[in-house]
């Protein structure tokens, strides 16, 4: 495996379900990110981790809960979501926070909340 | 509020012509500038980055940066149908206690055969 891998690719969940998104990077990067991408809107930064420590939490509702057990893995735990949370969720990594050399993105999870 | 602005398009360009994509940003302290390409249903991929004023060329792509006017552009020469995608501009900006990438909403480019 190379780059950044995300699973699952697609997820449909009810508003009362609990699910988790998984991200793994094989690049030796120190920073990892969760982004939300909705149609016609800029990428919305949700969480930033640097060396497993959360350094940014952009006022994200508590129904989204991140976890970073080590510098290669990142999870996003989802519970009691709303239909407006339906979007593409992207994981990214970079050598350091701020991404002087840019970010590498995973393929994303297309989430639909019904 | 630090912002990055892009025309949403769609920008329609004939095959073989030059496609010109523009981006303006609000933070004068920004130092790094990126162009990403995103095909429909796919994730963004980095195609160019530029740090210094002037032009940077890579194959058919040229990034242009003008810090005084706070804009960055991407030129695609000899446009191909495979260049049809949404192009995202991102700018490195210092916010709170660290640097972040601030993103534009993207310009949709259509190359007509």
Of A42, A100, A101, the CB nearest to B103: A42
Does A27 touch chain B if contact means CB atoms closer than 8 Å? no
* CB neighbour list of residue A91: distance below 8 Å, 6 or more residues apart: A4, A6, A21, A23, A25, A32, A33, A34, A35, A74, A105, A106, A108
Contacts 24+ apart (CB under 8 A), B74-77: B74/B20, B74/B21, B74/B23, B74/B35, B74/B47, B74/B48, B75/B18, B75/B19, B75/B20, B75/B21, B76/B18, B76/B19, B76/B21, B76/B109, B77/B18
Residue to test with chain A: of B8, B44, B56, B99, most A Cβ within 10 A: B44
Distance CA A40, CA A65 (A): 25
Q: What is the pLDDT of residues B2-18, one digit of tens each?
A: 899 999 899 999 999 99
* pLDDT score for B110: 98
* pLDDT score for A112: 96
Report the percentage of chain A scoring pLDDT > 90: 75
């Amino acid at each position: 495996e190379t780059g950044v891998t995300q699973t699952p690719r697609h997820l449909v969940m009810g508003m009362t379900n609990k699910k988790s998104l998984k991200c793994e990077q094989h690049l030796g990067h120190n920073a990892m990110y969760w982004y939300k991408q909705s149609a016609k809107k800029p990428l919305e930064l949700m969480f930033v981790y640097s060396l497993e420590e959360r350094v940014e939490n952009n006022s994200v509702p508590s129904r989204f809960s991140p976890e970073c057990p080590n510098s290669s893995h990142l999870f996003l735990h989802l519970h009691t979501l709303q239909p407006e949370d339906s979007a593409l969720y992207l994981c990214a990594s970079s050598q350091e926070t701020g991404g002087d050399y840019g970010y590498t993105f995973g393929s994303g999870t297309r989430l639909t909340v019904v | 509020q630090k912002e990055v602005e892009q025309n949403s398009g769609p920008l329609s360009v004939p095959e073989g012509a030059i496609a010109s994509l523009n981006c303006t940003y609000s933070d004068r302290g920004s130092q790094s500038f990126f162009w990403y390409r995103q095909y429909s249903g796919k994730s963004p991929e980095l195609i160019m980055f530029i740090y210094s004023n002037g032009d940077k060329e890579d194959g058919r792509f040229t990034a242009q940066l003008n810090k005084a006017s706070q804009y960055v552009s991407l030129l695609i020469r000899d446009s191909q149908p495979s260049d049809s995608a949404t192009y995202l501009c991102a700018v490195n900006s210092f916010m709170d206690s660290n640097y972040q990438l601030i993103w534009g909403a993207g310009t949709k480019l259509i190359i007509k055969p």
